[in-house]
Amino acid sequence: MLQYTIRRLLLMIPTLFFVAALTFGLAKAAPGSPFDRNPDRPPSAQTMERLNRYYGLDKPVHEQFFLWLGNMAKLDLGSSLVSNRPIADILGRGFPITAQLGLQALLLALAVSLPLGVISALRQNTLVDYGSLFFATIGTTIPSFVIALFFIYVFGVWLRWLPFVGWGSPQHMIMPTIILSLGSAAFLTRITRASMLEAIRQDYVRTARSKGLREQVVIVGHVLKNAMIPVATILGPAAAGLITGSFIIESLFSVPGIGREYIRGIVANDYPLIMATTLLYAFFIVVANLSVDLVYGMLDPRIKVGK
């Protein structure tokens, strides 16, 4: 297990390197200099040269890349071109908020989808089942920001129950958390239901019943443990989905997290910020996938993680 974990940790490196190279390459390939933002007042040639030297942009590209990569590794993320604030500062301030929003959404998604999926599989073709299928279809079909608009209209504009701008009080958190969790919750409900239906008709369930076990014991002790394996493998993509979802939801609800800063950076061509944040996201996604794989190895004894 330890050996496997170490090997997986080492395998993260090429993946992260690829994303770093891609981000850097695209930023370099993009035409124009990051400093001639305002076409009406282009900076003088002298200023450009000074800026380029200051940011190390006069060196060959591969040198720039490794310089930047080295800085990233040292957590020296540079400063924003727009606000001049250190990027570490911007991300440090936004991180707790984004993390809180993301974790709340993940927990909510699990708390809703697992019971819903299990119950709808056990009560197949009942009202509960149709209801959860409807929820799963809507949630996986309509993009979250569109659903968010209807929520904002009903609860924010019309009923005036919930604020929809900013972050801080628990009321502020309700809508962003629900909306962010929606897509993952719907997807996980669908997977849980399908996986339960698959597990429940397996031969070993009949064997369990033939031992005289109570139905609850059969479901909890035999069916659930098998049904959760496919669900666990989906948690990695679900976590990645929450991260991309957070750009959108934070921008929509003006939540001062990393996601909103990221989108702001993209709109304003703030390359250092975009690059550092992309790398940060890549890191989180890789870690999320790794933890899911480790959990998967623990759930399913057929996967030999030791070797």
Partner 1 sequence: MATTTATGRSAAERAAELNVIARKQRSLWRDALYRLLRNRAAILGLAVIVLAAIIAILAPFIAPYDPLKVDTKFNQLEPVWTGSKYTNPAYPLGTDQLGRDILSRLMWAARVSMVVGFIPTTMVFAIGIAVGLSAGYFGGWVDQGLMRLTDIVYAFPDFLFVLIIVASFRNSAFGNLLGGLVLIFAAVAIVGWIGIARLTRGQVLALKEREFVEAARAIGAGPTRIMTKHLLPNALAPLIVTAAFAVPGAIIGEATLSFLGVGIKPPTPSWGAMINEGFIGFSANPWAVLLPAICISIVMLAFTFVGDGLRDALDPRMKS
Partner 2 sequence: MPLLEVNDLHTQFFTRDGVVRAVDGVSFHLDQGETLGLVGESGCGKSVTALSLMRLIPQPPGKIVKGSISFDGQDVLKMDDDDVRSIRGNNIAMIFQDPMTSLNPVLTISRQISEALELHMKLDKGEARKRTIELLELVGIPSAKKRVDDYPHQFSGGMRQRVMIAMALSCQPKLILADEPTTALDVTIQAQILELLKGLAKEFRTAFILITHDLGVVAGMTQRIHVMYAGRIVEKADTGELFANPKMPYTWGLLRSIPRLDESRKAKLVPIEGLPPDLIAPPPGCKFEPRCQYRRDICREKEPDLTPVPNAKPDHEARCWGTQNVPGGGWLMDTDWRREVGDTRVLEEIKQEAASETSTDAPGE
Q: Name the one range near partner 1 by CB under 8 A: 42-50, 81-89, 145-153, 200-208.
A: 145-153
Residue 229 binds partner 2, judged by CB under 8 A: yes
* Residue 157 interacting partner from partner 2, partner 1, none (CB closer than 5 to 8 Å by kind): partner 1
**CA-to-CA separations, 204 to 128, 145, 209, 211, 300, in angstroms, rounded:** 27, 43, 9, 11, 15
Q: Tokens representing 166? A: 């900013």
Q: Name the one range near partner 1 by CB under 8 A: 58-66, 203-211, 223-231, 233-241.
A: 233-241
Residue 19 binds partner 1, judged by CB under 8 A: yes
Helix (H, G, I), strand (E, B) or coil at 86: strand
Contact 101, 257 (CB under 8 A): yes
Residue 32 binds partner 1, judged by CB under 8 A: yes
Q: Name the one range near partner 1 by CB under 8 A: 71-79, 84-92, 169-177, 259-267.
A: 259-267
Q: Any idea which residue has 């064997």 for tokens?
A: 207
Contact 152, 83 (CB under 8 A): no
Among 41, 146, 210, 302, interactor with partner 1 by CB under 8 A: 146
Site for partner 1 in 267-296 (CB under 8 A): 267, 269, 274, 278, 281-282, 285-286, 289
DSSP symbol at 57: T
Q: Any idea which residue has 């969790």 for tokens?
A: 181
Contact 101, 177 (CB under 8 A): yes
Of 135 and 281, which CB lies nearer to partner 1 in the complex structure?
Answer: 281
Which residue(s) pair with 79 in the sheet? 86
Site for partner 2 in 83-142 (CB under 8 A): none
Of 32 and 212, which CB lies nearer to partner 2 in the complex structure?
Answer: 212
What phi and psi, each to the nearest 5 degrees, are found at residue 100?
-65, -45
> What is the Cα–Cα distance from 70 to 79, expressed in whole angstroms?
15
Q: Name the one range near partner 2 by CB under 8 A: 22-30, 52-60, 209-217, 280-288.
A: 209-217
Min dist CB 15 to partner 1, Å, is 5
Q: Tokens representing 174? A: 């309700």
Of 208 and 227, which CB lies nearer to partner 1 in the complex structure?
Answer: 227
Interface residues with partner 2 (CB under 8 A) are 202-204, 206-214, 221-222, 225-226, 229, 299-302
